[in-house]
Structure 1
Amino acid sequence: MGRPLSRMDARVSRLSIVVPVLDEAPGIVATLQALQPLRASGAQIVVADGGSRDDSCALARPLCDVLVVSSRGRALQMNAGAAHARGEVLLFLHADSTLPDGAPLLIDNALDSGAQWGRFDVAIEGRSPLLRVVAFMMNLRSRLSGIATGDQAMFCTRALFDHLGGFAPIALMEDIDFSRRALSLSAPACLRARVRTSGRRWEKHGVLRTVWLMWRLRLRYFFGADPQTLARSYRPHHD
């Protein structure tokens, strides 16, 4: 007979963490190893691979509860992962990101206070001091607008996710689209604890250049540009 669940374990066991992956072999083990204490306490870890050409799947398999292979595209992968998630609460974590300590309790408290979805603040790790400025502006913009980005480890109740039909199957801006639709039902919980995420893609092509690219893409999306067209401008800078 197993030990009875503690109050913390009961909170953690409500949680399914979905990690979309594409060619993340260099870092996926560290990401998933950081989640093992939560997994041991009852959280479900779902890895959603988009057709990796490296060893991502082989490396991830022993460190997750479910490995799903889907079509490429973060929205499609997250939806595929959510379809195999058993938790009442879904958390979507990028493959190069690490949750803050006590994340399940923070999420649970936010949902118990009436929120149906939310996100964490983000800290972008890297050599450039500009990354701290970028993270500060991302967090401030999100807090003022109610729009979350995937880098901030978005979470929601299963009920809200199902009501919204998950992420729109678009090639880019799925996080902004989801935020806008979720806002019509509930203000987000903007948690100040920080998810740590890698600044590798920012630094690879230049921090300021990447900021300028993202602002241009968001502006074009705001004025109705097709996400598939935007993705063609985005991918050369982030593949």
Structure 2
Amino acid sequence: MKTAIDIVIPTLNAGPTLARTLAALPSHADFAFSTTLCDGGSCDDTVEIARRAGAAVVTAPAGRGGQLAAGAAAGGAPWLLFLHADTRLGEGAGDVIARFVASVAGKAGYFRLRFEAAERAARRVERLAAWRCRAFGLPYGDQGLLIARTHYDRLGGFRPLPLMEDVDLVRRIGRNDLLPLEADAITSAARYRRDGWWLRPLRNLTCLSLHFAGVPPQTLRRLYG
């Protein structure tokens, strides 16, 4: 019997990138992947795109932490794969996932960050992300997260935070129980091009530092924009 994996994608007006993300979802002969999109009230064609691709759609109040939690709760597969709507997995991801599920117990996995961009600045941010993961065990949500449902439930899952929901969960997983997966999470560069390849990472780092200092998530959300 095939092992089931629920893919959970939170969305809010994700029409420009969602179709490519769904088209690149992993597959493997030994696994049954199902996709749940948890929408926070999109007013574009997000939901229509998801349903055309065969994804289940549930709704929740806007806020990525709450949407991720609702999407996970909608399924029952023994494994969960969380992805952002502007992130598509690279070639070979299905095989990488299969090896991880078959051989690793009690741990979670994340993918290598890659930007859909040719700029040298994109490579710099990718290297910084890789260093952050190695040094501190802090992959962000745009790197995806693969985790057994029992492990996810035992940790309490995603909390309904307006920001830093990814950091909050991976800190509870713990650095020693987070493993890099040998496949790419290819992410849109639109926000970095809009905000600046220096300014956006600096803002992210500022928000992360303030989060660790105990600043309330609602305040961070206003700072983040």
Q: TM-score, normalised by structure 1?
A: 0.87
Identity within the alignment, %? 34
RMSD after superposition: 2.1
Q: Which amino acid aligns with 1:177?
A: D
**Counterpart selection for 1:213 from 184, 203, 215:** 203
Alignment-derived partner of residue 115 in structure 2: 124
Closer/same/farther in 2, CA of residues 23 and 86 from structure 1, 3 Å limit: same
How far the C-alpha of 1:38 sits from its partner, in A, is: 6.0
- For 1:147, the equivalent position in structure 2 comes to 138
3-state SS in 1 of match to 2:70 = helix
CA contact (8 A) 2:21 2:85 kept: yes
Q: Any stretches of 5+ residues in structure 2 without a counterpart? A: none
Give every structure 1 segment of 4 or more consecutive aligned residues whose post-TM-superposition deviation is greater than 6 Å. none
- SS for the counterpart of 1:119 is strand
Structure 1 unaligned segments of length 5 or more: list them.
none
Matched, 1:69 2:77: no
CA contact (8 A) 1:119 1:191 kept: yes
Deviations 1:74-101 (A, max 9, x none): 1111111101123211011111111122
Q: Which is further off, 225-234 or 189-198?
A: 189-198
Whole-angstrom CA distance in 2 between matches of 1:85 and 1:228: 29
Matches within 5 A, 1:1-239: 10=2, 13-35=3-25, 42-111=32-101, 112-183=103-174, 187-235=177-225
1:26 match: secondary structure: helix
Bigger shift: 56-65 or 156-165? 56-65
Provide TM-score, normalisation by structure 2. 0.92
Q: Which residue identity lines up with residue 115 of structure 2 in the other structure?
A: I
CA shift, 1:114, in A, is 3.1
* Whole-Å separation in 1 of the counterparts to 2:37 and 2:28: 15
Tell me the SS of whatever aligns to 2:200. helix
| 1:49-76 Cα shifts (integer Å, max 9, x gaps) | 1111111111211213310111101111
How far, CA to CA, are the matches of 2:194 and 2:118 in structure 1? 11
C-alpha distance in 1 between matches for 2:26 and 2:92: 13
Q: Which amino acid letter does the alignment assign opposite residue 139 of structure 1? A: A
Kindly tell me the number of residue pairs found equivalent between the two proteins: 224
Deviation at 1:118, TM superposition (A): 1.6
Cα shift at 1:151: 1.0
Q: Return the offset for 1:191.
A: 1.7
CA contact (8 A) 2:92 2:183 kept: no
Structure scoring higher RCO (CA < 8 A, sep ≥ 6) equals 2
CA distance in 1, matches of 2:154, 2:94: 22
